[in-house]
Structure formats: structure tokens, C-alpha cells
Amino acid sequence: MEVKERFSQLLLEPGEIYFEDYAAICHLPKVNPSEDKGWLRLVPDGKLRGRLKVCSKTLVFDPRDFYAPILKIPLRSCKEIRRYNHDGGSTKNLEDNQDAVISLESEMTVEVMQHNILQPYVFRREVLSYHFELIYKKADAVLPQVCQLQRASTLPPNDQNTMIQAIVRSRQHRRVFDRSFLHDLTETPVLEMHTNKVTPLVTNPGTVLLTTARLYFQPHNNIEQHPVLKIDLCHIKQIIKRRFLLRQVGLEIFTRETCGTKHLFLTFKDPAERDALYHCIIQQDSLNLDDLRQDNITYQWQARAISNYQYLVYLNSQADRSVNDLTQYPVFPWVIADYVSEKLDLSDPGTYRDLTKPVGALNEERLERLKERCQEMPEPRFLYGSHYSTPGFVLFYLVRQFPQYMLCLQNGRFDHPDRMFNSLPDTWHNVTTNPSDFKELIPEFYDTDRKPEFLQNAMGINFGVRQNGKPVADVELPPWAKCPEDVVTVMREALESEYVSSHLHHWIDLIFGYKQRGEEAEKANNLFYHLCYEGSVDLGEITDLNDRLALEVQITEFGQIPKQLLSQPHPRRSRGLGLYDGTYLCNNEKALLNGIHNGNIEEEQLQNNVNNDPFTVSCNPTSAKHFWQNVQNLTLFRESGGHRESVMWLTFTSDTQSIVSVGQDSLLKVFTIPKLNQVRSVHIGSLALSCCFPLPSNQHILVGSWDNSVYLYNLEYSQVTKLFEAHSDAVSCLHWANATLITGSWDCTVRIWSYGGGSGGPSGLNRGGHIRSELDHDAPVTCMAVHSSGTLLGVGTQDGVVTLWTLPEANIEHQIKCHAGSINALVWNPEEDRLLTCGDDGLLTIIDTSIGSKICTNSLGELIRCVVWDGRLVVAGGSSGDLIIFDMAAGQVLRRVEAHKGPITCLALAPNGQQLVSGSQDRRIILWGYGSSDNV
């Protein structure tokens, strides 16, 4: 493998610091041609031009001519380093310029990349004399530092590390950012501090400067491509606080494509310094970050707006896994469990690995042996002595693509040929049978956007010969793959399969979630060595440098558990639904229509209706799907003058033949479809009517009023019956389901009513004995919704809190603060146990009720009073009077429809999914569809 830039910090020992370099001529040792068959005898005059690089543990000479190797001279092997003294045997050139010559004798020389070919290092163990003639410097300007480092190398390891760190701190203390490198000299500096830039296996010290316009990184050496890295703040799209060696001292900055670098990973002395820079950056006005909140991304994954691969990349990033840090490289699951078949059936569950179990638990026999060993060991016990992701495991997979990393990690050598990644089938067999191999995969196995270089020895590296006589070449593929591209393509298809989509949340629980540690980890057979876990040791509290370095080495070798992202089960993905696929459900009303046959509400007859006619009435799936596919083409079909004051509530009758509205003018009106001819107008009560709910008999409407009462309206006979005074303040919402009436009120209560026997009818409800339950809240109740199963009630209040109650027990399941102001509407997606809320703060929020947590929040920028929802797309009524069609998963407005001249107050979607109706403070009612009016 030939490379353009030969020297890199990967050629140094782990943790070694590169300080600076000097133009120099290396006068090579004199060798006897008959004794030396190497490259030294091929240098005609014994001189090489190049750069002498001073590092904390080595001197490195990088020749200009690539046929010669880079020479690494360990300072600990140097017998003497001094200014050149004429000894009578050297060339006259050295005598003429001896003030600029550094001489040394070394017992070992490491030769790297001869002929510019990446290959194992050559360790020449013999005493050789070198003379380095500096071109622009005098020897006395360089020798003090080199001799100081050489003295440190002679000390015991602990003292050596202490002295080198003192030298590094002293040099860094004197460094300040060179302001001449500012892009614009009028920029205002905000913060300057020392830091380390992290790349795989390398940390490079430098100075970071934040101004009001840019972020700068200036390394303390010349190893970087540019003397100063400049990032415009407007190009930064994401800033993530990172963990580094189990300490919260890292900061990774991701930039947009217009910037010269994709990302910058920095580490600091302590969390306080890191946090200071982080807060200063996010306070700058020119910053324009992408919205990558975890709740929104999780919902996008659930709604299948992003792929499984994209979501795993995101989770790894949130859990401090970075491609810049091999100790915390992104981890991906083994998905396919069949590497022996000629063809794979990705629809067969038997093709897949069990994602509910960690790798170590996939083989029951091996697991039992590990459990027996665990029981016999002292505390702290662990099940697996080997981790699923370490730098060694990452490079096991990537050695063909990045051989220089393996040489760095293993002191200039590749692994034994038989221990390398030679066969994908053999590797799967090993991780499921070997008692000490539990490694998962890396993202490269699923990344179809890049060539699968990690599976091919395209560079022709000589990795050695295996015991079977075969050289280490390309990775052996499973029978179902004919080329490396097939491997990645098929594995990506498997990752995105329906089986994996349905089970991936279990693996997420193991790696990033609540089964990662503690009692749940023990139950899930997911327990690793204690140093793998964040919080097991605080390196910042360890004052002894050598103890700290020893622990860092152990942490690196044992691997690190990702940062825990979830303490509750991760929500599952939507079942088989793409953007417009599967069964679509309408708003909460169609799922909550329940039967009262012929207006008879005696309990016995109600129970018969439960048995004979399900209370949950779904939209026609085809019709509903068609509506949401065409929702961006909403067309105004008819409009009516409606009410004298604001329209408060709208609903379709269960047969979708009529629309019922109630208004602040105390009127209930009935309109025909599609012409919106008014056929009823009834004055009910003395105050505004707040809500109405149709009964499945198609003859009765329940009505709630600001006069605290509930009324029953008979559509056939146009008769109004006052059922009872339900609350001590206005009735704000009501619902009928399963022989049960539920009412909410501004008096901060929800009441659940049941009907008694006899022929007294609904008027008997005004007796207190018929209140089954009273649910108290801390603020006036504004809205509610009952899950189609009838087992869960969501209640929204003016303080922005959603309370989830179990039914019929009436116990609080969850309370979630969702909005800064009043909650105006709740809508269930019962297929996924999710609840959509909207509020005065302009936010749309989705709650996963199984875990009681927000999983998505988007802002529409204006007060929202009402919504209908298909599980992903939303039609919202805005205070601007517009209908806003919004994609929750993509987080974007698809279309705005100018609808009303005042705020939209209510929306309803027909049970058959064909029409939408809107009402407003402008008193108008508008019927909408997605085609010509002839189709309505």
C-alpha cells in the first residue's frame, strides 16, 4: 500500500506526543556491504534529506526519498545524544557545520514503510551511530529538549510518565492562539483554552479559540493538514457532549457539507472546561443547529421515516460512540444467523438471530458454563470476560481497510494470520460457540453507501500465511453472497426486514437501554466486567498519574458499555407501516362510537349491544388510506354560514349522512352531506355549548354545556332532554363508551357515570349514586380521549399536563408535562398506543403511553386548537385560520390551506375517511375532500 503522507502519529507509541520537526540531513551509519544486505548500503553518499521529528519517546527521521524507510529511534535505546564533535572519521561537511549537528548512538532502530509500502516494522537491534545535520537551526536550540526527554526515558515507567506529562504541561502552558490566523481580524474572541483533538488511536494537543463567528483549532505541532482549522458557526449542525475513557470530557462537533471538515472531536482536562466551551458555542447567535432531539428521532424511526440503520447510527452517537474513538466505536448487531445456505429467505424468522438475547446468551450450553463460572467468582461478578466492542475487535474487522491502525495498536505487527478475520461464516460460528468471543458487528457491514473495502485485501498487504498454507487475502464469504457487495446488500436488507423491525427494540434495550446494567442486566444475562460501565471508577479523582494510566489501559482493553439512554423499555416500531401503507385509522371519534339502540339506555339492552355490536367502529381502511394519501390535495367542497358565534365542536353522525355542530350561541345544528343544507337548528340551555358526541344508534347526540349540564338530543324527533347537572363548572368534553358516560369539566374533575336499571332512562344520572369514579386534576380539564380498547383514558388540562388513567380501575398510569400552556386536543392512534396532543404553545407532541414518555415534539409556530391524525400525518387547525398539513416524522409542513378568516376551533374526519369538516371563530363551517364534489 502506497501513501502520499508517510508520517503520522499512528507511527508513535500509544499516547506519545509529537512536538515539532526540523529540516535536516541524516548522515547514515557506515555499514559493511558484505555484512548488511539492507537498504543502508544502497544510499550512495550515506546521506538522506528529510525532517527530524521530536516526540516524547522517540526521534523520528522522515526521509524525502520514499525508497528509504522512516527511522524511529526510541530515546530509551540511545546511549548518548550530544552536539557533534569531530572524531577524525567523519566527513568534512560535518566539520564545517558541526554547530548544527546532533549525534547519537542507538541500540535499536525501527524501520517503517520502506519503499513507501505499509508493512510490519523492521526492528534493527544493533548499535548504530547517526548524525542529524539541521539546516535552519543550531544544535543547541534543539538539544536541551531532546536530552530532557532522553533523561525521562531512562527512568522507571511510572517516573517517566510523570516527567513527560510535566514537560507536556509546561510546553502547553506557554502556547496561545496565534491571532494572525483569524479569518476576520474584527471577530470578537469569546473563549480560548487548551484541548486535545481526537482521531482513531491518536490525541493531538492544541488550542481552541471561539469567536462570535467561528471556532478555531490550532495544533501545537505541524501534523495537521492545515496550520489552523476554521469552522464557521453557521456550518455547525450538531454538537454532542462525549464520554472519553469513561469521563465526560469530550465534545464532538459535526458540520455541514459546505465546511472543510465533517467533524471535530475534542477532549478537555475536566468536564467543567468541556461544558464551558459547549455553553459558549450554543449561545452564539450565528449558530444554526439541526433539530436532532431524541424524542423526535425515536418517533421518526417508529413511523418508519428513517431506516433501522439510520436509527442505530443515531443511537450510537447519542451513546458516545464515535468513529473517531476506537475505544467507543459504533456497535451494530449480528442480524443474520445463517451463513451456510446457498440462498437466504429473509421472510423466514429462522434466518435471524434472536435479538432479545446478547451474543453470549445465544448458545444455551455455553451460557450455562458461563453462569457456573460467574457463581464461583468473588464480587464484583461478571458473566462475560470479553466485551462486544473493543479497539481490537473493531480492527479485527477493519484491518484490511486500515492496516496502519493495527500496526499502531500492536507495536508494528499484524495479528497471527489464523486469528485474523478470514471468514465470515467462521466468525459467526466462533461468536456463538467460543467461551471468550462475544463481539457484535460494526456499521460497515450494513453501509451500502460505501464500497466494502473491509472485506477485500485490495491493497495487497502481506498479512502472512495461515497454517493451511493459504495467505491472508479477501474475507471468505457465505454461500449466499457472490461478492463483497452482496454481503453488505443482503445484510442491510435483513437489517431493514420486517422481522428485525419488530424485534430491534429488544436489542436496543440490551445495548443502550434498561437491560444494560443492574438487576435487569443480570436477568437478561447481559453482565460484563465492572470497568466496562460508566461510573465504576472516576479517573478524575485518581491523583497518581501511573495508576490512572494503568486504569485507562484496562478500560480500553475491556471495552466500554455505551452511555445508557433509556431506563424504561424502548418503544417498538410501527407494525409494517410505511408512509402510506397498511391500515389507516381516523381521529379518536371513529374509534369510540358506541351503541345505544333506539334510544333505550337501560343497562340490560346496553350490554346486549356490547355483545352484538362492537363499540369500536373503525374507518374503512381503504377509504382512510386514500384520504391520507391525498390529504395534500384538500379541496373546499361546501361552506355554510354556520353559527351566530364561534363554532365550538363538530362531529359526523355514525352513518356519515349528516354533520352536527354546536356553538357558543347555544345552538345545535344539523347539516346534510354533501350540500351542507341546514336541516336542524335547536337552542339548548342558556349558555354556550362546548362539545357533542354521536351515539351509534344514529338517533341521539350527547351535548355538553357551559351551564354544567349534559343534554341528550333526539335527531329523529328534534327533542332535547336535560340528563343532569354533571359538574360544578362548565362541561368541557364528554365521551360515551361501553355503557359508560365520561365527562370533563373546568372544575378540574373527570367523572365516570354508569346507568342504573329500570325504565327511568338517562335522567336518573343526576343522582350522585351513579357516579362510578371522580378523577381529580390540578387544573381545569380541557379535553380527553379514550383508547379504543376502553382500558385507558387520556386527559388534558390547562396546565399542559396529560394524565393517563386506567379504566375501569381509575388509577393514574402516567402524568406527562407536554405543553407550556393549555392542552386543546388529544387524539389516539390505538394501533400503536400513542397519543397526539396539541396546545396553546403551538406544539404537537406524541406520547408513547406504554412507557409514559414523549417520543416526538414539533412546533407549528402558532396556537393549535384541534387536530386529526393518521399516526404520522396531521391536519391541524391553526390560530391563523389555516389548515396545516404536517408530517410528524419528517418534522415539516407539507401544505398550508387558507381555510377561515379566524382561528380554527374544531375539526372532524368522517368515519368513512372521505370528508373533513372544519369550524372556526369566524362562525363558518367548511366541508373538505380530496377530489371533485361529485365524489363526496
Write out pLDDT tens, residues 223-276: 988 899 999 999 999 999 998 887 899 999 999 876 668 889 999 999 999 999
Closest to 782 measured CA to CA, from 820, 734, 815, 818: 734
**Mean pLDDT of the residues in the chain:** 86
**Residue 130 has what pLDDT?**
92
**With bands split at pLDDT 50, 70 and 90, how would you rate the model's confidence at 659?**
very high
CA–CA separation, 208 and 231 (whole Å): 11
Nearest to 439 by CA among 367, 391, 374: 391
Bond preceding residue 674 cis, omega within 30 of 0: yes
pLDDT of residue 46: 80
Q: Residue 829: enclosing H or E segment and its boundaries?
A: strand 823-829
Contacts of 199 by beta carbon, 8 Å cutoff, 6+ apart: 265, 324
Least confident of 270-279, 581-590, 804-813: 581-590
Q: Is the pLDDT of residue 541 over 60?
A: yes
From the number of C-beta atoms within 10 Å of its C-beta (0-12, 13-18, 19+), residue 233 rates as: buried
> What percent of the chain stands above pLDDT 70?
88
Above 90 in pLDDT, residue 4?
no
What pLDDT, on the 0 to 100 scale, is given for residue 734? 95
37, pLDDT greater than 60: no
Q: Between residues 303 and 404, which one has the greater pLDDT?
A: 404
Report the percent of the chain where pLDDT is more than 90: 63
| 605 has pLDDT over 50 | no
The whole-number pLDDT of residue 699 equals 82
In this prediction, residue 613 carries a pLDDT of: 34
Question: Of 81-90, 110-119, 154-163, where does mean pLDDT reach its minimum?
Answer: 81-90
Question: pTM of the entire structure?
Answer: 0.80
pLDDT of 442-493, one tens digit each? 999 999 999 999 999 999 999 999 999 999 999 999 999 999 999 999 999 9
Return the higher-pLDDT residue of 91 and 720. Answer: 720
**Taking residues 324-331, what's their average pLDDT?**
92
pLDDT at 71 over 50: yes
Q: Is 393's pLDDT higher than 50?
A: yes
> What does the pLDDT look like over 827-838, one tens digit per residue?
998 677 899 999
Q: What is the mean pLDDT of residues 545-567?
A: 83
The answer to whether 148 and 167 are in contact (CB under 8 A) is: yes
pLDDT of residue 295: 66
Element (H, E) at 904: strand 904-909
- Band of pLDDT at residue 931, cut at 50, 70 and 90: low
Instruction: Kindly write down the DSSP assignment for every residue of 599-667, as one continuous string.
Output: G---HHHHHHHHHHS-S--PPPHHHHHHHHHTGGG-EEEEEE---SS-EEEEEE-TTSSEEEEEETTSE
Q: Taking 80 as the threshold, does the pLDDT of residue 43 lie above it?
A: no
> Can you tell me the distance from the alpha carbon of 799 to that of 821, in angstroms, rounded to the nearest whole number?
6
Of 401-405, 698-702, 722-726, 929-933, where does mean pLDDT reach its minimum?
Answer: 929-933
pLDDT at residue number 33: 56
Give the model confidence (pLDDT) of 871-901 as tens digits: 889 999 999 999 999 999 888 899 999 999 9
Average pLDDT over residues 806-822: 94
Task: Give residue 213's Cα distance to chain centre.
Answer: 28
DSSP state of 478: P
Query: Is the distance from CB of 245 to CB of 537 less than 8 angstroms?
Result: no
Residue 584 confidence (pLDDT) above 60: no
Q: Which of 105, 118, 123, 102 is nearest to 38 (CA)?
A: 123
DSSP lists the bridge partners of residue 795 as 784, 803
pLDDT at 30: 75
615-625: pLDDT as tens digits: 222 334 445 66
Cα-Cα-Cα-Cα dihedral sign, residues 58, 62, 66, 67? negative
**H/E element holding 682?**
strand 678-683
Residue 929 predicted with pLDDT over 90:
no
DSSP 920: E
Question: What's at 583, amino acid-wise?
Answer: T
| Beta strands 47-55; 843-848: pairing state | unpaired
Domains annotated on the chain, with CATH? 9-172 (2.30.29.30), 175-290 (2.30.29.30), 331-376+417-558 (1.10.1540.10), 588-935 (2.130.10.10)
What per-residue confidence (pLDDT) applies to 256? 86
**Mean pLDDT confidence for 752-771:** 54
User: What does the pLDDT average to over 76-84?
Assistant: 91
